[in-house]
Amino acid sequence: MTEAGQVLVLAGRFDPTCDLVVEELNRRAVPVFRADLAEFPLRLTLAASLSGNRWHGTLRNDRRTLDLASVRSVYYRRPTRPAFPAQLTAEARKVAETEARWGFGGLLSALPCRWLPPPGKAADAEYKPLQLRVAAAAGLRVPGTLITNDPDAARDFADSTGGPLVYKPFFPVRGTVHGQTAAVYASIVPPGDLPHPDIATTAHLFQEWVPKAHEVRLTVVGRRIFAAEIHADSDAGRIDWRSDYDSHTYRICEPPDDVAAGVLRVLDRLQLPYGAFDFVVSPDGDWHFLEVNPSGQYGFVEQATGLPITAAICDYLEGNHQ
């Protein structure tokens, strides 16, 4: 049964994925209060007191006021960090940031409602070594993987796999170089390039290369699974489809039963209600787990295929979900 109350949306000001959810909630006449943590404390005011075993009070910006007791759910979509007055010294800013995290963030976490996703659990799940261990324990196929800062260990790993390796960053690396937007994507490392002295500079993640028929973006909301094949038609896209969205074609697919059961076990063990999973499907049809993003984008898949992922998210936030 659908619950009453407001949905608190915490997201950056420019977030097309979040816009899809807000528009659908508006269409359903579900009250929404959207804010970015960057609005606190200059443009977002908090006042709350503990009464009995619940916090009561308000969250207010220049447009609306949210009754904290009315929050039925929180959609947490990568909000940006609080912004403080420019005149604060570095020491005062550090204190203010800490107090905002433990005070404002702590109050939000104390609200007795569902989160999609819970920020603490989502932050834990961002660790790729944890994801890979949990996925393997859940019965999913995981490529052979090495984490190292030892160039000789990387060479030995390549020798053991008998083929090229894939290097990928542990966390998205994006920025600007000479005024142009740049990002680090997965790349092929030929065995002849190893050992390489740069490996010694920090932790590196290497995996065995899995031949691809195509890749799959599999999105789970609650217990509902939505899967789409991604066929990349460029050399860069075939290594990492994120590097060339324009080369893609998409096709709705059904995961094998063991994969469907495995992804649900992964989310259960990570205590997450949502996950955007990436798989490589080999020419012989085997699905190989690459990663899961606890707050991953899905709009590009929905737009291309019509899969009703936004509707499933809104069902979950409304309390009308599987």
* Other CB atoms within 10 Å distance of the CB of residue 246: 8
* Other CB atoms within 10 Å distance of the CB of residue 271: 13
Q: What stretch(es) of the chain map to CATH 3.40.50? A: 6-116
Q: Are strands 71-77 and 65-67 parallel, antiparallel or unpaired?
A: unpaired
Confidence grade of residue 118 (pLDDT, cut at 50, 70, 90): very high
Identity (one letter) of the amino acid at 229? Answer: E
Looking at the predicted structure, is the pLDDT value of residue 10 above 80?
Answer: yes
Spatial CA neighbour of 20 closest among 272, 303, 319:
303
CB 241 within 8 A of CB 88: no
Q: Are strands 45-51 and 173-177 parallel, antiparallel or unpaired?
A: unpaired
φ and ψ at 44, to 5 degrees?
Answer: -135, 120
pLDDT at 321: 62
pLDDT at 1: 40
Predicted TM-score of the model (pTM):
0.89
Rounded to the nearest integer, the mean pLDDT of the chain is 90
CATH level 2 (architecture), domain 6-116: 3-Layer(aba) Sandwich (3.40)
* Other CB atoms within 10 Å distance of the CB of residue 321: 18
Instruction: Read off the pLDDT of residues 162-192 as tens digits, 9 standing for 90 and up.
Output: 888 888 888 776 666 666 666 667 788 888 8
Instruction: Read off the pLDDT of residues 13-67 as tens digits, 9 standing for 90 and up.
Output: 889 999 999 999 999 999 999 999 999 999 999 999 998 889 999 999 988 999 9
CA distance 294 to 79: 14
Instruction: Read off the pLDDT of residues 269-321 as tens digits, 9 standing for 90 and up.
Output: 999 999 999 999 999 999 999 999 999 889 999 999 999 999 999 999 998 86
Confidence grade of residue 246 (pLDDT, cut at 50, 70, 90): confident
CA distance 88 to 217: 44
C-alpha R_g of the chain: 22
Percent of the chain residues topping a pLDDT of 90: 74
Cite the DSSP H helix spans in the chain. Answer: 16-27, 90-99, 106-109, 119-125, 128-137, 151-161, 235-239, 257-270, 299-305, 309-318
CB 112 within 8 A of CB 68: no
Instruction: Read off the pLDDT of residues 59-99 as tens digits, 9 standing for 90 and up.
Output: 999 889 999 999 999 999 989 989 999 999 999 999 999 99
Provide the CATH topology of domain 123-141+211-318: D-amino Acid Aminotransferase; Chain A, domain 1 (3.30.470)
Q: Is 319 helix (H, G, I), strand (E, B) or coil?
A: coil
Q: What stretch(es) of the chain map to CATH 3.30.470.20? A: 123-141+211-318
Percent of the chain residues topping a pLDDT of 70: 91
